[in-house]
Amino acid sequence: MRLKVAIIGSGPAGYYTAEGLVKQFGDQVEIDIIDRLPTPFGLIRAGVAPDHQSIKGVTRRYEETQAAGDIRFFGNLQIGDAISIAELRELYHAVVLATGAPHDRPLGVPGDGLPGVIGAAAFVGWYNGHPDFVDLAPPLDTSAVAVIGNGNVAIDVARVLVKSPDEMAGSDLARHAAELIHASAIRDVYVFGRRSLLDVSFTPKEVGELAELTELTDAVPLVDPGQLPPDGAEAALDPGQRKVIGHLRSFALRRADEKPRRIHFVFCARPLRVLGEDRATGLELERTCVRDGQAVGTGETFTIDCGLVIPCIGYRTRSIAGVPFDNARGRFVNDEGLIEPGLYCVGWSRRGPSGTIGTNRPDGFAIAEKIAAAGLTGERAGRAGLGRLIEERDLWVVGFDDWKTIDAAEVARARIGAPREKFVRIEEMLAAAGRSG
């Protein structure tokens, strides 16, 4: 019996699971990787910052995986819509949800629904050319932006907002975003952390990203010296985190008038309310102190004027009909990746939005081991059955070779110095693949 596995989602978690399965089962496994977009690689394409091309290079590994086993890519196929989870579970011994966490966690303060409040999932998707967010049109006619959160996403967003066109020349920043960002009126980007400078979630491995901020052409990173912890306060932290803190301390030595744009890191400030009548015009915050690791309000408030608020406070998985969902945590209910016999989840849809790309490798391998240990038996129709459903329902599916055609077309139309110019609408992608009928 050959094992038949469907993996839903073609990002890192999906491809590492496929790699783990090939390692476990060799040619005794048939793997179908299904994605709702015609393009594979999930967050690598639509989440990793466009100016971090070396990180995006990890897709070469996924291409090797794709070639190593009996793996087929089915793009442009929405599970839960065109084909249900129940139908897939009939067809495959195991179905693995590797659907990531594509929705923003709500900020949960009055005014957070106003135009001009745009969560990081949407904003990052927009500048990365994700088809869901092409028409977002964020209000970049504002001189000030509030970025909320002290994680790696906040750093990415702040940096992309202030980098010069020359600094972004080697990136794959989507054209519509480049036009708006580089014509923007932005002068001040505030990055607000609700806890202290010692409690940031910027990871030591990404310390280069903080260093990069010190060398930007048009922008200077700033920390109010009054917010610095006492000398040596970070002594108990590990060396990597001490380096992060060292960079933040160095920002206190910079001057606001050094460059035309500024990134202000403001700590111990939590959002209370987005101000504005019919669009965001400002943010009210409360100063906090940290007690037992928690941000506690002091009652002292202040406001800033800003026309754009970007919460970078974490993500949620999209629920799927028929799959138990933990609404509080924004991920599938699971026990170490097992949802129900034959149904698994992996990556952010299993553990929530934590860790870096590499974290998904052991995660994917663990799910492959779990599937191996489950001793799944019986004959399943697998790919042949999926093919029949696709044909019966007249669905328009994109294969890996089609993706390679799209990929080549994007590379061919890149502006000088850039790796590619992405197609940002699904129709354009299908047309590039020669599939527009």
CB of 316 to ligand NAP, least distance (A): 11
Instruction: Please say which residue, 153 or 426, places its beta carbon nearer to ligand NAP.
Output: 153
CB of 328 to ligand NAP, least distance (A): 14
Instruction: Please say which residue, 38 or 125, places its beta carbon nearer to ligand NAP.
Output: 125
Tokens of 35: 């994605």
Interacting residues toward ligand NAP by CB under 6 A? 148-154, 156, 193-195, 199, 201, 203, 206, 270-271, 295, 312-314, 353-356
Instruction: Please say which residue, 267 or 400, places its beta carbon nearer to ligand NAP.
Output: 267
Q: How far apart are CA 86 and CA 12, in angstroms?
A: 24
CB of 31 to ligand NAP, least distance (A): 26
Tokens of 22: 């090939």
> Residue 309's beta-bridge partner residues?
117, 146
Instruction: Please say which residue, 151 or 342, places its beta carbon nearer to ligand NAP.
Output: 151
Instruction: Please say which residue, 12 or 69, places its beta carbon nearer to ligand NAP.
Output: 12
CB of 114 to ligand NAP, least distance (A): 17
Residue given tokens 């097992």 in the structure block: 338
Instruction: Please say which residue, 288 or 334, places its beta carbon nearer to ligand NAP.
Output: 288
Instruction: Please say which residue, 150 or 317, places its beta carbon nearer to ligand NAP.
Output: 150
CB of 271 to ligand NAP, least distance (A): 6
Instruction: Please say which residue, 199 or 340, places its beta carbon nearer to ligand NAP.
Output: 199
**Listed residue (336, 317, 340) closest to 327, CA to CA:** 317
CB 273 within 8 A of CB 110: yes
Tokens of 41: 């690689």
CB 38 within 8 A of CB 125: no
Q: What residue type is 352 in one-letter code?
A: G
Q: Which residue is nearest to ligand NAP (CB)?
A: 151
Helices and strands in the chain, H and E counts: 15, 18
CB of 322 to ligand NAP, least distance (A): 27
Contacts of 116 (CB under 8 A, 6+ apart): 138, 139, 142, 274, 276, 279, 280, 281, 307, 308, 309
**Listed residue (122, 17, 42, 5) closest to 403, CA to CA:** 42
CB of 303 to ligand NAP, least distance (A): 16
CB of 68 to ligand NAP, least distance (A): 26
Tokens of 174: 């989507």
> Residue 331's beta-bridge partner residues?
326
Strands 331-332, 325-326: pairing kind: antiparallel
Burial of 187 (0-12, 13-18, 19+ CB in 10 A): middle
